[in-house]
Structure 1
């Protein structure tokens, strides 16, 4: 789908579903390979799909490599008109021929051919749009000598290679596609005359079966249905996490994913993030239906904060699939999702069905689910500029009903977590028994005192 179609359809979607939204600016085209005249002539195009002009004063455009080293940092100023474009040119105003931009739209630095992490932030530091390509590389674009075709956005938030050499930078509203004209209205058929015979029936008479020279009949095979079954719904979600294990066992922290759907899902390139880290799931990571995927802290390098944190789960197109935001934790408690709600429990169950512990001494209900953004291209990890990415080739998948399977290191951590839960249950049972004995003793003693006073 061309960029023109994307811009038009996205504009309609934005007007219908998010007419009252603010700060909705998208990165619509990136010439990371330069132009056919010079590979240094890189440029980035922004688009405003709303019906109102947008002030970009204080906004920031940031580019980082895989080591989180900032390659581009440009503070923006000016206004992007409604349904209009905003072009950022590298180094000078000669980057894009026949297109002149103010000095405020010139940036320094370069876009690496291997890929970068790009973020567009508003004047409060909130990430409005982004692309994270430092690990897997740019998803589109052609740097072949003589062609140099930029990558441009599609309606589903993914990227495609432009059909035009050097792309279509700084388009005007007039060049955006217009709604197609309504189909011509056919005049109604004239009414039949009273003296005319009724028209013949339109019912078709089926043709007789064909015969072959040997007088055997052949029948036509029915045409296959052109309707295709809709793609299976991807139902992969966050399932459990433990931010604050008992003791100083930070290596026991884990994040669990579950596939509630009916088809195998390839999670290669999916990401789990907190405000400081990005964990990229390794290649060939297949999650079968009704199975779990468990990642410990030594794999993700994501340290879950005890005072509260936000964990987000993205697919390979950077579309938000699930997220959880929790407040202050209590030692030994894990967060589990049961029937769509996040709850605290003292029974950690990595790789097993989530359980609730019968304890009233639990943290408050600070945990909440963050709903995925309906506009896929506007979703992005809420991370700081100092973010670092971690990629793994290891994955763990366990069944609801089967015994969990983990690596050797993970088995040790599982046993320690189970030992903690078992110790908690034993201490809880001992406490209940002790309280019962104490109440029984006090009750008997009270009866003895009362009887003694009555006799006196």
Structure 2
């Protein structure tokens, strides 16, 4: 078919118009996924305003189940911020917001939708937020070099980022237009109106390492100035570059309150000594009583400082003024809360073009006010970072600290020494701090073998819980004398130098926090040793010794050494032994975790066998034999013991009401066995009903019991580690009433695990957020709960990993001031999602297999024992026969 010219032209125009339509659509493509829309990193001195705002720009509601939000440090390491369990079943509506906020700290007027743990904090500098979907795919990421304290970090319509126009940001509302050019203060009564700024055009010479860009409020700050110089000195204004890049100052200006303009030029460096730029004799005059200094790039305000009695409408937040010959300086280079009163102080130490030092001439000697670089004191290598507390148990903004130590033999003035972290924040040690209400002090002198502690409330250095660096700079040095790097911190533990005289220095975490005192390295917990025995304590009878009640909080591999008081020993956790003579014997069990060795001793009274002739055996034949526990062997009766029924008035009560009785009362209750003796301990087990209760017998005199048995128990009320227990005397204090159904666990949230749920059989589901030693911690979105694995439960912890979602069934146990869930067996750990198959019992073997293996092992050990015993008797008989033949 032949096409006419008109037809061809029509087709061409149609295609061309389609191209332009497509091009326009492509240029204006809209985001089709959830975005991180706004981030608030707090305000000065608190995490009260920390939040992350998500926004759904799509036309459909989105379920966030399985999603996570993580924080990324400057090193690139990621740590959880909002776990998947906290986002379970959370829906973010189409064109709607979801507000995530610091738990227990956020106090904004807009209610948060999802909290994150209070100890997880965001840094003002060099951090990022990463959003993952339920397939662990990165959906969005927001990072920043520095967010102004008190302001939020907002996404713009163009997809770039900016500081919010007003303090506090705009949670769950449209973002502002940004804080690019804040309005100048109204003219004061003592100054003329600022003239319109029409700077003369300047010629900019591009440099290879510079790019002319529009900078933001606070990128460069007025760092120090002298309005009333000493004789033969001049007024000056010092500015400081907070960015890690060179900045071309062509087109920049400084104004005073009268409107006098000083034109800037050249480059202010992003590192080294040239981060400071001094402008001497600026145009106009800086009034001694008060004035205004403004730094601008073109028409954009980059920084401004009102000091003294300058009337800017908010005179209460003005910086102080200074008289001859003092300076007005930021309390730390670049320190900026956008409150001049908070940021500046008067200093007798003028550090023109160098790091600020705040000192008071009235309280300082000449040596203290001179330039820090000339301090002629001890060797700078004698000052070391000695202890760091990144994550205190209390308020981080108050109790975080960095401790310095003088390991030399001369005192050193720390004035002018600088501390920093992996961000650009720096803190110069000075004579006045918030802790002493601005009053000068003399304790910047650190004596030999003494300590100096700098708290976060003074330094404003926020150490990241997920890992950070702490740097120590000598005065006037851009190179740190020491850098200490630590990985993920644990709440309540400090990072300590093991030996301050060693080279190189080595570090360890410790649970003993010692600010201003010698370090105490203690983190490895000593094992808690306990043991017992069962069987008739009679000559010639088998005694079953049991060390399974020994616990180690760190989950270390333990070694055992038994001494039976006869010279015989064993290294088995649960040996068997026979005594061949009556008497009292001191039995000891020594347990070591590789660092701590703990010994426990008890007396066993061995009685003569009734109606039996004494057996004479060589003492060399008194040998411990490796062995195992035998079921049912604990049913022996102890002479002299009486039932609880005969010891005082016995009161029938319920599991719910027994807590109201006084300790020492005798009570009788009924309940269903939830865990058998020998699982958590050989000396106690648990029954449940409306509530729960621990049943205890120090001699392990229990009848044969199974989970699900309904029993009655009579005994004396007592308490151990804060937990109520009913203490029985003899096995007959426990009577089986019926075989009931297996007790069902009750569902609780993590935050409900505590006083009201202790001794109950519970079930908690959540995400594994930490794993250490014999414990893991579950976060279900409402809080965290500790799960502790007892040795007797024989649970394989290797298959459980951080990030797994599991359900745990167990007994709530109290240990002093903390509560934890004790699962009874592998069947109590159910994988919901993670490295194992969903619904899988982690590490489980079949019950029949486990039973057969256990029984075979017990039979084997008993056969070994009988063989050794028979061998010994054969040797003795052979000796007797040989003597008779002679």
Larger relative contact order, structure 1 or 2 (CA cutoff 8 Å, min sep 6): 1
Task: Flag whether TM exceeds 0.5 (same fold).
Answer: no
The TM tier, using the shorter chain, reads 0.3 to 0.5
**Higher share in strand:** 2
Scaled by the length of structure 1, what TM-score is found? Answer: 0.38
| TM-score, normalised relative to structure 2 | 0.21
Query: Which protein has the larger Cα radius of gyration, Structure 1 or Structure 2?
Result: 2
